[in-house]
Structure 1
Amino acid sequence: MEKYLEPTAMLNFNDEMFQHLIRQKGWGNLNYEDRIKQIYDFVRNEIKFGYNRGDDIPASEVLQDGYGQCNTKSTLLMALLRAVGIPCRIHGFFIDKKMQKGALTGITYLLAPNKIVHAWTEVNVNDEWIALEGVIIDDSYLKQVKNRLCSFNDGFIGYGISVKDKDNINLCWTGESVYVQSFSITDDLGIFNNPDELFVKYNNTGSKLKRIMFNRKRKKINRRLDILRNQ
């Protein structure tokens, strides 16, 4: 399990900002599953759903931004879990971009690849790997957009959400896997020890031009998500 506890350039949890947060929250004093639950709840609701400058940014930047999407929230979740001794890994996928419609609009949506790189954190509980995909969407945002989801392929998609049943979405972690975008997965890219290994191989903003264009738009996108969240 040692490889699932190591820091990396992206999982930079030895940074004092992480150590201060862990002391402040008292996570190190909790039992194993309560550590997972409270860190999961923190990343899900205190770090809002939104778009960072790229997938391959360090966890410290996600924490400072105060928002993130599937890939960057997974990085932050992993860093905090490893910082308190919880083994975790990352699972990569391609996901149909249709589920992003509403969160991404206009030219940003049109320029997005048809298959978007997606990831979730898997945490080891009682020698079983549990998926924590539900960490992506905060409750305030979910409350405002769940009735805007579109029916698609016997499920519901849109606004960064893809589920079988929109009326029974429960993203609280109770010891089992929690999903919120998995209904739109198209390809399994495999399991990686850390996000550094995944995003050097697969990246939504891999080209310099795409990154520049996206970063010109993302602040506007995040403001729009906040308007939706606060309606």
Structure 2
Amino acid sequence: MADEHTHLAATRLLDFDGLAIAGLICARRWKVLSRHNQIGAAYDFVRNEISFGYNRADDIPASEVLANGYGQCNTKGTLLMALLRGLGVACRLHGFTIHKALQRGVVPELVYPLAPREILHSWVEVKTENGWINLEGFILDATFLASLQHEFSATDDLCGYGAGTGCLSAPPVEWVGQDTFIQKSGIAKDFGIFDTPDAFYLSHSQDFGTVRNWLYRHLIRHWMNARVRAIRRGDVPRMPGGALPNHSHRDTNHAA
């Protein structure tokens, strides 16, 4: 059983002892806040001031995510954990995979068949006076989420465009001291709890293969980020044939 110090320590990925993250915490004056509001301040920063987008890899340091100014579930989670630990708030990581259908609409259709059937996913667990709370609702920034809510106002079930939820009109994404989620309905496999993202990525990685890894880092993710920016502006691409995405995680039209 991990002790409190384990969930407060800096690591290679959780580099909150470096100038960038320590300086941010100091500049925002978050240390004078109550514990509840410290969690909320860090959470809101990662949710909305770090835009939804795709970095070069999952296992990059929190300071790199901060410098990028964007991230996805895994990288934004690393930054959130670094900010929380920099504030003296204990946290840990819960690892999963999600069905690739959740990324459809963000991944261009031309390369969608190249995506693995399951994609590496994680959320943050933070320790509060009421026990461990699950934080996942920080992945999609409010502007991006609002575009999806406007486009798919006729349904509450959405699996696609980076969202996996059965309550799209009012998903639990605000910090109010309770669990937050935006991709939970896309979960495929549960890897359990890890003290640090470093330990998680030592055990699990998204290996596309040499060629596909190169294509992702140098071409596909930039294409995906362009689509994310378009969606944020309200230009939401439709699925093939113009169909709305549905809540099913089974993808019978494309093989991994």
TM-score range, shorter chain: over 0.9
- Map 1:28-39 to 2 at 5 A: 28-39=31-42
Following superposition, the deviation at residue 207 of structure 1 comes to 3.9
- Map 1:126-145 to 2 at 5 A: 126-145=129-148
Following superposition, the deviation at residue 67 of structure 1 comes to 0.5
Q: Secondary structure at the match of 1:124?
A: strand
The residue aligned with 1:186 is: 188
Length-normalised TM-score, structure 2? 0.85
Distance 1:207 1:149 in 2: 35
| Change in 2 beyond 3 A, CA 1:150/1:101 | farther
Distance 2:82 2:62 in 1: 6
Q: Deviations over 1:145-186 (max 9, x none)?
A: 23445999x932111100112222241110000011011111
Q: Does 1:85 align with 2:88?
A: yes
Q: Deviations over 1:189-218 (max 9, x none)?
A: 010000011112212246443321101221
The residue aligned with 1:157 is: 159
Distance 1:74 1:22 in 2: 17
Contact 1:150 1:156 in 2 (8 A): no
Q: Secondary structure at the match of 2:93?
A: strand
Amino acid at match of 2:101: K
Following superposition, the deviation at residue 2 of structure 1 comes to 0.6
Structure 1 gap ranges (5+): none
Distance 1:221 1:169 in 2: 24
Q: Secondary structure at the match of 2:15?
A: coil
The residue aligned with 2:108 is: 105
Q: Does 1:23 align with 2:26?
A: yes
CA-atom RMSD in angstroms: 1.8
Amino acid at match of 2:166: K
Q: Which moved more, 1:193-202 or 1:107-116?
A: 107-116
| Change in 2 beyond 3 A, CA 1:146/1:205 | farther
Distance 2:140 2:185 in 1: 15
Distance 2:199 2:210 in 1: 20
Contact 1:11 1:79 in 2 (8 A): yes
The residue aligned with 1:174 is: 176
Amino acid at match of 1:33: H
The residue aligned with 1:197 is: 199
Q: Which one has the largest radius of gyration?
A: 2
The residue aligned with 2:52 is: 49
The residue aligned with 1:73 is: 76
Distance 2:113 2:213 in 1: 15
Give the structure with the higher percent helix: 1
Q: Secondary structure at the match of 2:191?
A: strand
Structure 2 gap ranges (5+): 235-256
Length-normalised TM-score, structure 1? 0.94
Distance 1:190 1:84 in 2: 25
Q: Deviations over 1:33-72 (max 9, x none)?
A: 1000011000000000000001111111100000000000
Percent of residue pairs bearing the same amino acid type: 40
Contact 1:150 1:157 in 2 (8 A): no
Q: Which moved more, 1:218-227 or 1:26-35?
A: 218-227
Contact 1:155 1:183 in 2 (8 A): no
Following superposition, the deviation at residue 228 of structure 1 comes to 1.5
Distance 1:24 1:110 in 2: 45
Contact 2:92 2:195 in 1 (8 A): yes
